[in-house]
Structure 1
Amino acid sequence: MEVPYPNSSLLYVSLRPYNHSGGEETVYEQCKDMPAAIIWYLGLQFINMFLGIPTNLTVLWLIHKNKGDSSTSDIFILHLAILDVLFCLTPPLELANIVFITTSSTWYVLRFFYGMKDSSPLFLSCICLDRYMAVVHPITFTELKDRQHRAVLAMLVWLFILGYAAAKCVGNIPNFEKVFTAMILAAFAFMVYCNIAILWVLRQSGPGRDEMHPVKKRAFKMVLIIQAIIVFNYFPPVALFPFQDYFSADVFRCYIHYVAFGLMDFSSTIQPMLYLSKEKMPRSLNCCLTSTTHNLQV
């Protein structure tokens, strides 16, 4: 079954790599005159697979091992790591669809996983919200410190993610790209607000940085990390795709598209590595050493 060529006005942000061949050419063959971006994109995807899977599994293991002494945000970090592990399994199928396959059947599977990855900033936003409440509204945070409402929020996020992914899997929904753009912009604005609010509270903690409360310092570092992720990994698609008309169809389809999504997808590796970099890791990750402890507080 062949896939029709999409209207040039349709943003690829809604469909991701889309086998729009009108004949027997693969996506790679259609971009043979400018293959650099596709090669770069596939390279990042396989880095995601080889680095993202073990690092995300390490995050899951650490959270499980330290569940009795964990941060309130760990439930959202856990679900984000699960999402990233699932997404990091797709590069072999993606390579086959871009380079070798001209039919559309497997693209439905890929678009479902793309939809899941598109929605991952929602879990980042939940982490920011948790840190914002802990620093800016500590009394309310203490009253709501039980994890039940966080589990409910995580489940609601998953329902939205699965619904969004299913809609993306169907494809060709009019103006569907606006949902992604609105979601990324809203998440970006929300995280900027949280970051500024937390920074303001920290500045009120005392005239010198050394007088800031250690818990507030860790909260600010977490939000700052998330802000760096959203700027580096998620903002490029939003910044580039609205200017699609300024690029030729081939440049946008074969170059801009893959550069933007390559950066976005690489967050599956960057997120867990940044999380692990701030943890007190043992010299050897030996699952049998029950006496090993880690400080997972954000």
Structure 2
Amino acid sequence: MERFIILALVGLTAQLVDGSLGMGYGLTSTTLLLSAGIAPAVASASVHMAEVVTAAASGASHIKFGNVDKSMAKRLIIPGSIGAFSGATFLSHLTGEYVRLYVSIFLLCLGLYILFRFLRMKDARKQEHTALSNRFYTPLGFVAGFFDASGGGGWGPIATPALLSQKGMNPRKVIGTVNASEFAVALSATVGFLLSLGPGKLNWLWVGALMIGGIIAAPISAWIVKNLPTKMLAVIVSGMLIFTNIHAILSYTAINWETTMFIYTLIAVIWSYIIYCLIQKEKKLKRTSSELSINKSTKTS
């Protein structure tokens, strides 16, 4: 019962992050299951099975709040589903002790990708919108879907930043659309895992716990997506992924304890400094916005 509650809380937290940032459910949940010693294919399969339900709840919530671009979602769903099925089949047939290393390296790279992408990202809303063709959506959907299933997460971390980096994209619409289209991607990945592994390999208690937590969080994350400081959450999520998966990777090496602790301390210091800088930047922006509002009201009166 204690593990069920913990996993439900993990599912809730992961869905809050995913629904608010457009990524993080698979990465957060899979990282935790891997650190608990679960086989990579089983961990990814369990997360995607739960994600079918949580993504449906999240997508419905985002549609209700007007956060979904249906045309964009349709262009992402088909290539994303094909990629997810392929990725699930690929991971299910990998064997050996280094499969976990492959997944950990992939998750670490995604953590770094999220960090640098969001820190350097310009505000696309201030740029003129440019229409995107299927030549952009098709490879993006396939690659994001493939790595989502084979790495335990990747649909949001690849699709969301790629879309947000395009001129004129509305962050609210991008996050809502990526979350809504994730239902089809998770369903395709789940089918691929079930055909390759069989339903007997899944721990249905874990799946149920992750589902319950995700369902509770789905409407909350859709509601707060308009006001969330996106860069702050991106840094927090990426830091967690980097720290956790560095630990998994170092376990395959012969690095001594002192060097390991130095690496952990360095990551913690850099991570804390970035968060501090973002907090100061947010405070400065709020002060500037407040001063502009006061000056505007003074001129009007």
Shared fold (TM-score greater than 0.5)?
no
Highest RCO, 1 vs 2 (Cα 8 Å, sep ≥ 6):
2
Question: Whose Rg is larger?
Answer: 1
Larger fraction in helix: 2
Q: TM-score, normalised by structure 2?
A: 0.28
Q: TM-score, normalised by structure 1?
A: 0.29
